[in-house]
Amino acid sequence: MSMRASVLNCPVDLLDINDALCIAKKAIEDKTNFQIITINPEMIMNAQKNEQFFKIIKNSNLNIMDGVGVKIALKLQGINKAQIRGVDFSRELVKLASENNYRIAFLGAKEEIIQKAKENFLNQYPNLNFVYVRNGYFSNDDEIINELKQVNPQILLVGLGSPKQEELIAKLKNELLGCVMVGVGGSFDVFSGIVKESPKIFQKLGLEWLYRTILQPERIKRIFPVLPIFLIKCIIASINKKG
Ligand code: UDP
């Protein structure tokens, strides 16, 4: 098992993308339900005030570090680890599904987006075994859970935004059989080609959040003051630890 660190009491797994993929593959082969969270500062801050969400993060099987904020928080503890971008990880899971003929399901985003994302992946991997594709605008979780139980996916990507996606996956963990489930946020928008991925230079500098905020200025409300408070809390935590 990989090493685990803790950021403001939330577990964060220290691994690279290939380790994460091997662990996911093993879970599918062992027929274990497996929740993966691509954890970022917004989620960690939400967990500080939302007890139920905190429990979900604690009980998740793997929390891979997305978001440059988590990378900085770990650096304050003397841990150097590259972030795994949620979109990259999801793309690799789709590839894994194609290589192993796993049953795959997509849930989330608007109807035309999710259909386009499916179509784009099928162009790349024509043998992909899609068993379920549904948009993320529904009111009854139980209906979705029942539909998913019937098709029994082995890989499920859920893009409903956080914490909705993590809450639904936590419920599905007791219902499915041998499924790796990941909350993918807005990744389907990127896979559809309708929302442009940030340029490589922004990715390299860890400034994807800045690029997305420039394109969608309304996101600023989500980032501020969450991100600065997150960093201040992490600095205080690291000072207290050293002292
Ligand atoms: N979404 C959804 N159902 C909802 C609300 C949101 O499917 O009830 C989708 C939305 O269309 C978008 C994604 O969830 O594709 C959320 O993207 P966001 O950029 O908020 O997520 P982030 O990547 O920041 O976690």
Which H/E stretch holds residue 77? none
Q: Whose CA is nearest to atom 8 of ligand 1?
A: 137
For residues 155 and 80, give the distance between their C-alpha atoms in angstroms, rounded to a whole number.
30
Q: Which residues sit with their C-beta closer than 6 Å to ligand 1?
A: 108-110, 136-137, 159-162, 185-186, 188-189
> How far away, in angstroms, is 185 Cα from ligand 1 center?
5
Which H/E stretch holds residue 206? none
pLDDT at 243: 67
Measured from the Cβ of residue 200, the count of other Cβ atoms closer than 10 Å reads 8
Positions of the chain with pLDDT lower than 50, given as ranges: none
Give 196: exposed, middle or buried? Use CB within 10 Å, 0-12, 13-18, 19+. exposed
Q: Which residues of 68-94 are buried (b: 16+ CB within 10 A; e: fewer)?
A: bbbbbbbebeeeebebbbbbebbbbbb
> How far away, in angstroms, is 70 Cα from ligand 1 center?
21
- Most ligand 1 atoms within 8 A of CB, residue of 106, 110, 114, 160 to mutate: 160
pLDDT at 77: 95
pLDDT at 2: 66
pLDDT at 13: 97
Measured from the Cβ of residue 96, the count of other Cβ atoms closer than 10 Å reads 19
pLDDT at 40: 96
